[in-house]
Every structure is written in structure tokens, then in C-alpha cells.
């Protein structure tokens, strides 16, 4: 199967359990906090769980534009889009995992539990793992020795920009 930026972004998103959710505060400041990525849908929609009384929901009600970013030692993704709170007990039950009880002691029926749906507009990724990492190291060495920058922009296995 040919690697396309869309496929690669979705594949990389599956590798992450935790991501940073960035919202805009009341005075325009950007705020980040770690969040569990509960589900990544084929269209790139992300589902998170949150407390209905959290500050992030106040921020999203004022400005729904968000960024979700995740990284490991060799993989990086960034999704820009809009967030919305979703009251759907069936979807919560579908996504529920027992470890979430640490944050929601009442379980999937916890009245403070609400879904956060992130609908992406654009995404970008960088993958320096496996054979892509070897290619990156070769290109980086070549660039270093020649005094240029590595040219990896046209390899969808390593880097890509996606309109969602």
C-alpha cells in the first residue's frame, strides 16, 4: 500500500495514548494540558474525556479552536481544529475503560463526565522511526557535511501536512 500523508497521520495518531490539548485562555494566553486520547476515528476526529466543570470547557466555549499534539522519541503529530463538549452516554459507555475510574470515580455513569470531540482542520506529522529514521540520519549527515538542510519534505513516510 502506498503511504499517503492522510494514511500516515492516522497511523501515527494510533500510536499515542496521551496528547497535549492546547486551548486559549480568557486573556488570549495558550494553555496546554495532558489528556488521554480515547479514540481516533478514521476521519481524524479525536475523542477525549473531561470533567464538565473543568476550565478547559470554559475556554472552549469562548474559543473552540484547539491544537492537539503528541510526541515520542521519534514520532510527532499536531492536529489543529475545533473542540466541542458532547453529552452522549452511549458514546461514553462505548469508549469507557476501567483505568478512567481514577479520574471519574463514579465510572461511566459519573455525572461530571463529558466527551470532548476534536474535529480536525489540519494535521502535520514527523516520523523518524524505523527505516524512516535511518533515512533521516543519512539526509541529516549529508546536509551537515554539505552545509545545507536535509530535504525530507517530499517523503510522506517521514513528514506530511494534511487537510482534514
Query: Average pLDDT per run of 10 along the chain, which is 164 residues long?
Result: 84 93 96 95 92 95 97 95 97 96 94 96 92 82 88 81 90
97 found inside a domain: yes
pLDDT, one tens digit per residue, over 19-61 is: 999 999 999 999 999 999 999 998 889 999 999 999 999 999 9
CATH code where residue 54 lies: 2.30.110.10
31 found inside a domain: yes
- 147 Rama class: left (phi>0) / alpha (psi -120 to 50) / beta: left
142 found inside a domain: no
Predicted local confidence at residue 55, as pLDDT: 93
Structurally, the chain folds into a number of domains equal to 1
Predicted local confidence at residue 76, as pLDDT: 96
141 found inside a domain: no
d(CA 107, CA 102): 9
What predicted TM-score, i.e. pTM, was given to this entire model? 0.87
93 found inside a domain: yes
- 140 Rama class: left (phi>0) / alpha (psi -120 to 50) / beta: alpha
147 found inside a domain: no
99 found inside a domain: yes
53 found inside a domain: yes
- Write out the residue range of the structural domain in which residue 105 sits: 5-127+159-163
d(CA 50, CA 58): 12
The total number of residues shown for the chain amounts to 164
d(CA 140, CA 162): 24
Amino acid at each position: 500500500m502506498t503511504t499517503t500523508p492522510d494514511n500516515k497521520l492516522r497511523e501515527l495518531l494510533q500510536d499515542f495514548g496521551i496528547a497535549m490539548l492546547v486551548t486559549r485562555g480568557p486573556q488570549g494566553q495558550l494553555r496546554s494540558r495532558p489528556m488521554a486520547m480515547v479514540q481516533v476515528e478514521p476521519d481524524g476526529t479525536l475523542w477525549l474525556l473531561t470533567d464538565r466543570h473543568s476550565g478547559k470547557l470554559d475556554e472552549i466555549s469562548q474559543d473552540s479552536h484547539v491544537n492537539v499534539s503528541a510526541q515520542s522519541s521519534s514520532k510527532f503529530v499536531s492536529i489543529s481544529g475545533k473542540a466541542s463538549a458532547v453529552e452522549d452516554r452511549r458514546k461514553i459507555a462505548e469508549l469507557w475503560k476501567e483505568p478512567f475510574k481514577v479520574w471519574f470515580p463514579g465510572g461511566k455513569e459519573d455525572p461530571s463526565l463529558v466527551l470532548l470531540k476534536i474535529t480536525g482542520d489540519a494535521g502535520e506529522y514527523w516520523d523518524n522511526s524505523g527505516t524512516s529514521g535511518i533515512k533521516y540520519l543519512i539526509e541529516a549527515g549529508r546536509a551537515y557535511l554539505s552545509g545545507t538542510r536535509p530535504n525530507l519534505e517530499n517523503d510522506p513516510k517521514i513528514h506530511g501536512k494534511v487537510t482534514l
